[in-house]
Amino acid sequence: MASPILPGSGLGSGLDIGAIVTALVNADKSAKQTQIDATTKTNTLKISGIGTLKSALTAFQTAMTNLSSKTNPAFAGYTATSGTPTVLGATSDNTAVSGTYSVVVNNLATGSKVASASFSGGAASAIPSGTLKISQNGTDYNVTIPANATLQTTRDAINSSQGINGISANIVTDSSGASRLVISSSKTGSGNDLTVSGIAGLEIDGTKVMSATPAAGDSGAVGKLATDASLTIDGLTVTSKSNTVTGAVSGLTMNLLTVPNPPGTPVTVTVDTNTKGLQTSVQTFVDAYNTLKSTIDTLSKATPDEDGKLTVQAAFTGDSLPRSLIADIRSQLTMPSGTTTGPMAYLSQLGVMTDKLTGNLTFDTVAFNKAMSQPGMTGQVQQMFTGTDDKNGLLARMSKAVDPYLKGATSTSPGLLDQRMTILNNNAKSLTSQQLALDLRVANLTKTLTAKYNAMDLLVGQMKATASSITSFFSSLNAQQSAK
């Protein structure tokens, strides 16, 4: 804070009052100012450290989430490749077996689509109130139709209430202006035909197929009934309610997309071990861990200054928080995989070890490839990292170990880092208040001391004037005495 004292000597005393007051004020505030400055520096460093650590943990969790993706699995023990991906796609899990399969897609599974009798009034045609019952494979879905409903509002009521069940409706209007309510289901497979009842004019028997040129009063299934998918695998006939075919070949899932042209054209599906892909994913895992640990080390370890003498404190030097964090994460590395049924349970069996000097993970690819040369090991690696459910795999456990630091016990409670940040921000506010109080004290003390020293200077000036007057008086008296 700037001093109100102007430099210069007192007129009466000749003393440098500004320098004297400044020295006294600085001596008074020095200890408290040093404490505030040191504490502010440490607090600011910790606030920055919390932000850096939070970003690093978020990046680590993102890496774990990406590696455990189900849509694009990084730890797939096997890879399935379709020779004609436009006809069918193929994926595999850790129970797959290497092999080649010849698949012929005969027809796809279809859902039910039914149409009502036509309404000459179009979409605005009046529909009686009541309960519209849509039945499918023994399950009834009821839709309430209110008074003054139209074909259009009926369509909207079906969509808003039954979309969650995979049932949707629309209106098709022909060239004459007559409209039909068309109801579709996303559920495929034989036996999933829709029937509609309960409202006059909207009764539909979906087990009957309408003709290509239906009369105005005709209703029923459009095109054909719901059907199962049909395919052959190495000459063996397979049917499926869905176009996602699982279980026909152990560990293999096939997504049927279209019937090939010409029909009967086989698609070759190849299943092979994913050693190269797994090696890349293990290295990505190791790199993600080492990046996080490097950040924690940087935030925790004190370093020498430029001269190599004094120690420069880091944000968390001597703080237990980063030690607890790295301990929580490392504990997951040493635990066995989510299942103990397989021969591979520890990272060390993959060639992933801990460096004794740095604590970082190292990855021995030679040891990894040697382990993968044993039959079935790629599937074991997949199981180790992704687990048998969403909780017991290494990736899920590593991510969960970070949760307490980023998230609270509930969706509204803060994590440990946010709790620490709140404390540090409160400390910053307290330090600001302390600085303002100190500045006020310095200003008041400066004002008081300045007034006192100015008064002293005035008194000294007055005393000097009196002394000078007395001296002059006696000098004059002595002169008179001498003259006689």
**Model confidence pLDDT, tens digit, residues 65-115:** 999 988 888 998 899 999 999 999 999 887 888 899 999 999 999 999 999
Q: What is the mean pLDDT of residues 388-398?
A: 88
Is the four-CA dihedral 368, 372, 377, 379 of positive or negative sign? positive
Of 135-149, 299-313, 380-394, the range with the lowest mean pLDDT is: 299-313
Count of C-beta atoms within a 10 Å radius of residue 484:
4
Is the four-CA dihedral 232, 238, 242, 247 of positive or negative sign? negative
Q: Map residue 152 onto helix, strand or coil.
A: helix
Task: Tokens for 80, please give them.
Answer: 């399935």
- Residue carrying structure tokens 């850096």: 52
Dihedral pair phi/psi, residue 331, rounded to 5°: -60, -30
Please provide the distance, in angstroms rounded to a whole number, between the alpha carbons at the two ends of the chain: 66
Taking 90 as the threshold, does the pLDDT of residue 246 lie above it? yes
CA distance 268 to 103: 6
CA distance 89 to 239: 17
What is the CA angle 335-338-344, rounded to 5? 75
- The pLDDT of residue 278: 94
Of 30-44, 133-147, 468-482, the range with the lowest mean pLDDT is: 468-482
Question: For residue range 180-220, what is the model confidence (pLDDT) as tens digits?
Answer: 999 999 999 999 999 999 999 999 999 999 998 899 999 99
Does residue 365 contact residue 350 with C-beta atoms inside 8 Å?
no
45, 91, 380 from 72: Cα distances, Å: 40, 10, 18
Q: What is the mean pLDDT of residues 383-406?
A: 89
Question: What is the pTM for the complete model shown?
Answer: 0.68
- The pLDDT of residue 1: 43
Count of C-beta atoms within a 10 Å radius of residue 320:
9
- The pLDDT of residue 462: 76
Taking 70 as the threshold, does the pLDDT of residue 117 lie above it? yes
5, 9, 64, 136 from 60: Cα distances, Å: 57, 66, 6, 47
Does residue 361 contact residue 351 with C-beta atoms inside 8 Å?
no
CA distance 121 to 179: 7
Taking 90 as the threshold, does the pLDDT of residue 454 lie above it? no
Taking 60 as the threshold, does the pLDDT of residue 6 lie above it? no
Lateral strand order in the sheet of 99-107:
78-82, 267-273, 99-107, 229-233, 236-240
pLDDT band at residue 352, thresholds of 50, 70 and 90?
A: very high
Taking 90 as the threshold, does the pLDDT of residue 310 lie above it? no
Nearest to 12, CA basis, from 481, 468, 455:
455
Taking 50 as the threshold, does the pLDDT of residue 342 lie above it? yes
CA distance 344 to 445: 75
Does residue 124 contact residue 152 with C-beta atoms inside 8 Å?
yes
- The pLDDT of residue 285: 96
- Residue carrying structure tokens 């349970």: 345
- The pLDDT of residue 484: 61
pLDDT band at residue 262, thresholds of 50, 70 and 90?
A: very high
Which H or E element spans position 60? helix 17-67
- The pLDDT of residue 409: 63
Please give the radius of gyration of the chain, using alpha carbons only, rounded to the nearest integer: 43
- The pLDDT of residue 73: 86
Count CA atoms within 13 Å of residue 461 on its CB side: 12
Question: For residue range 407-451, what is the model confidence (pLDDT) as tens digits?
Answer: 876 667 788 999 999 999 999 999 999 999 999 988 888 888 888
H runs (alpha helix) in 139-245: 151-162
Taking 90 as the threshold, does the pLDDT of residue 284 lie above it? yes
- The pLDDT of residue 318: 82
CA distance 270 to 479: 133
Dihedral pair phi/psi, residue 423, rounded to 5°: -65, -45
Give residue 211's Cα distance to chain centre: 53
Q: Residues of 196-214 as b/e, b for ≥16 C-beta within 10 angstroms?
A: bebbebbebebeeebeeee
Helix 394-406, helix 320-334: angle, nearest 10: 160
- The pLDDT of residue 4: 47
Does residue 328 contact residue 320 with C-beta atoms inside 8 Å?
no
pLDDT band at residue 2, thresholds of 50, 70 and 90?
A: very low
Residue 387 is given by DSSP the state: -
Computed over every residue of the chain, the mean pLDDT equals: 89
Taking 50 as the threshold, does the pLDDT of residue 5 lie above it? no
Q: Map residue 210 onto helix, strand or coil.
A: coil
CA distance 74 to 154: 46
Task: Check residues 21 and 239 and name the one with the higher pLDDT.
Answer: 239
